[in-house]
Amino acid sequence: MGLISKHWTRIAVTLVPLIFALLHATGAMRIDVLQRLDDIIYDARLGATMPRTLDERIVIVDIDEKSLAELGRWPWGRNKLADLVNELFDVQQIALLGFDVVFAEGDDSSGLKRLQQLSQNELKDQAGFSERINQLQTALDYDGLFAKSLVNRPVVMGYYLTSDRDGRASGVLPKPVMQRDSLQGRPIKFTSWNGYGSNISQLAAAAPMAGFFNSITEGDGVVRSIPLIAEYKGNYYESLSLAMFRMLIGLPSVEPGFPQDRLVTRGYQGLESILLKQDRQTLAVPVDDRVATLVPFRGIGGVNGGSFKYVSAADVLAKRIDGARLKGKIVLLGTTAPGLLDLRVTPVGETYPGVETHANVIAGLLDGKVFVKPDYALGFEVVVLVLSGLLLAFTLPLLSAPRAVATSAGIVSVVVGLNFWLYLGAGLVLPLASFLAMALIAFALNMSYGYFVESRSKRELAHLFGTYVPPELVDEMVKDPDSYSMKAASKELTVMFCDMRGFTKMSEQMEPTKLQELLNSVFSRLTNEIRANRGTIDKYMGDCVMAFWGAPVETPNHAHLAVQTALEMAVAVRKINEEHRVKGLPEIGVGIGLNTGSMCVGDMGSDIRRSYTVIGDSVNLGSRLEGLSKTYGVDIVVSDATRKLAPDFAWQELDRVRVKGKDQAVAIFYPLAPAAKIDKTRNDELKVWNVMLKAYRTQDWDQCELQLLNLHRMNAKKYLYELYSQRVASMRLLPFDPEWDGATNFETK
């Protein structure tokens, strides 16, 4: 019952983040940080997947700083705008023109104003003057000139919607694209406004097609979307980008698209899309619950952004654009001049031209690639949270830590992958932050509960065994205790004995505390080398350390690691001596013996004290080899069994020896270095040495002396060559012994 209770408690703990995530998703308890995280994810994903290519279909005629410098401050006289429109249509032969500016007041050009101020009393006696006045008024009616340039041309005017206390309205609105009765009484969450600033009646009559250029600024001040349809006093009007798109495809009618009754949309009363209908063909443009679409940004924006071609309005008016270079293009007239205040903060730039947001939407509509948070985003989010949350809650408590990590990572990968696939493949922007937060917190709570509650017994077991078992084994036992046993077993391992030389002399000369400090420092350095190469420290015996490789953790290359450790320990000792010389401390030496063979490994000792150790003849031989290092003037002596399992090193055979307690002679070797690091000089020296050893074992003393002479010339400081010179000199005095096997007998330990 205790285990069952703990299991269900752990499940309940893991379900807590699911509950909070569902409260956020359904709107019962909005968590601002999750909404902000969703925005960050969307912005990062958008930035990573933008095409960053030039769309040659759309051109922006820019009222830039250059244009303002040449033509004067904005607004310009309508005669200039009439010339601009005529140049674009008559000379450049563009396909469509959209204005991202509004003309809310009549032109007060100075020439017409002065004419209107003339005194009729001064001019009444002049013959025909009245007729001349009418002619001049007509010539100076710049609004009329501008309006005339718009008539019967594919032009979409721009205007803005406002929401203020007074609900001010100016200008003339276009006809609404959708009526209230078409919504079937559904409570659609249109962006709603109580005022507007539109074009004067003369221009509105000349170009009746118009669209608002408002965008939606989110809570963090970033523009990510624009409404395609907005509400003003019960009527529904289209955006500039939608109006231009409709004009391009033949002005289809606009109708609401309601969602089908699906599991994830059941009960949703908003719009799923807006339907563009014409000649029995219907194009569905997906929208979110605000009847808006996310701006499908193509790049970083601006004149040098590379998404759309920018042409200075001054260059168009001055006819500096080659004839028909803009033929068939969709043109937007807007501004990038900072003083005209049409720069926005967007996910891809903090000073993004407002006119380019409309260009992006038009391009997306033309390509059928608009991004939208669909009407069923809520249902999708709830389904994902419930399925993944329950899966995590009921599976994680049953798994070990590594498998729990793998399972959590797998579930997260599937959901994130699905989310990105729907984004890239279908243009759907679906919530992800609530799931990520839920999965992360569920995993953390599950692991924390497992560690602080359920693993208490494991930690107690680890503490108990840690009093006599190496930390390496403790770590393995905690991870998977059923796979390890403290029972003795016979295994092939490699054992090391390392003895500190000169310790007895130092103990006589140094104060106990100083000696302790030095010994601890040296052993710490040597122990680090052993641990770094997966060795297990068996015990410290005075000035000797014993270690082995291959248990408790299976290590197939145990011999190689042991030899590598011995070489690194020798290097460490040389560095220690360099430090000691600087500090005035005595230098030390080490003797290391390595042997590989079958050994008994396990928990051994008495009822009072036990340890995880190795015993056997192979262990004893390793101890004997350590003692021979001083005899041969080397710091490492390795058995032939170890050498055969570590072929990646260059070896120098030292001798064949018969140690105390062993009848069988064994070959012993010294590891020079990794084989790849042996240069030609040392390789030549080894060849001469091998010739000498062969002569030594055949009792060819003349050949031995000749080769030893060559070896002394190659390496005069090597004690091994001096040792064999003395042996040859002594054995030359003895008669030839046909029974001698070339081995050296040692009767002491």
Angle in degrees, CA 680, 682, 688, rounded to 5: 105
Distance CA 252, CA 167 (A): 31
- How much is the average pLDDT of 604-619? 81
- Give me the pLDDT at residue 121, please: 46
Residues 6+ away with beta carbon under 8 Å from 185: none
Q: Is the pLDDT of residue 261 over 70?
A: no
Residue labelled with tokens 């710049």: 142
Q: With both helix axes pointing from N to C terminus, report the angle between 471-479 and 456-465 in degrees, rounded to the nearest 10.
A: 150
**428-461 residues labelled b (16+ CB within 10 A) or e (exposed):** bbbbbbbbbbbbebbbebbbebbeeeebeeeeee
- Quote the mean pLDDT of the chain: 86
DSSP H stretches of helix in 396-469: 401-426, 433-449, 456-465
**Residue 49 tokens, joined:** 């997947």
- Highest mean pLDDT of the ranges 138-152, 401-415, 628-642: 628-642
Q: Is the pLDDT of residue 464 over 50?
A: no
380-431 pLDDT per residue, tens: 889 998 999 899 888 888 887 788 889 989 999 999 999 999 998 888 899 9
**Residue 523 tokens, joined:** 């052993």
Q: Answer whether 262's CB lies under 8 Å from 376's CB.
A: yes
- Give me the pLDDT at residue 264, please: 45
**Residue 705 tokens, joined:** 């002396």
Residue labelled with tokens 């990105």: 420
Angle in degrees, CA 384, 256, 429, rounded to 5: 30
Query: pLDDT > 70: what percent of the chain?
Result: 88
Q: Who wins on pLDDT, 280 or 471?
A: 280
- Highest mean pLDDT of the ranges 197-206, 314-323, 738-747: 197-206
283-301 pLDDT per residue, tens: 999 998 899 999 999 999 9
84-115 pLDDT per residue, tens: 999 999 999 999 999 999 999 988 654 444 45
**Residue 209 tokens, joined:** 């097609």
- Give me the pLDDT at residue 458, please: 59
Distance CA 311, CA 479 (A): 67
CA 267 vs CA 261, 292, 294: distances in Å: 8, 20, 24
Query: pLDDT > 90: what percent of the chain?
Result: 54
- How much is the average pLDDT of 539-547? 87
Distance CA 106, CA 117 (A): 17
Using left for φ > 0, alpha for ψ between -120 and 50, and beta otherwise, residue 663 falls in alpha
Pairing mode, if any, of strands 589-605 and 489-501?
A: antiparallel
Residue 538 has phi, psi (to 5 degrees) of -85, -55
**317-341 residues labelled b (16+ CB within 10 A) or e (exposed):** beeebeeeebeebbbbbbbbbeebe
Distance CA 127, CA 116 (A): 19
- Give me the pLDDT at residue 372, please: 85
Q: Answer whether 292's CB lies under 8 Å from 226's CB.
A: yes
Per DSSP, the residues of 522-578 read: HHHHHHHHHHHTT-EEEEEETTEEEEEESSSS--TTHHHHHHHHHHHHHHHHHHHHH
Q: What is the CATH number of domain 485-675?
A: 3.30.70.1230
**Residue 148 tokens, joined:** 């005339």
- Give me the pLDDT at residue 379, please: 83
Q: Closest Cα partner for 645 from 669, 677, 621? A: 669
- Give me the pLDDT at residue 262, please: 53
**Residue 359 tokens, joined:** 């260009």
678-719 pLDDT per residue, tens: 999 999 999 999 999 999 999 999 999 999 999 999 998 899
- Give me the pLDDT at residue 177, please: 95
**Residue 144 tokens, joined:** 């009329």
Bridge partners for 499 per DSSP: 544, 591
- How much is the average pLDDT of 497-526? 83
Q: Is the pLDDT of residue 653 over 80?
A: yes
Q: Is the pLDDT of residue 461 over 90?
A: no
Residue labelled with tokens 């030609």: 680
State the pLDDT confidence band at 660, using cuts at 50, 70 and 90.
confident
Q: Closest Cα partner for 470 from 613, 257, 291, 650? A: 613
Residue labelled with tokens 């038009």: 362
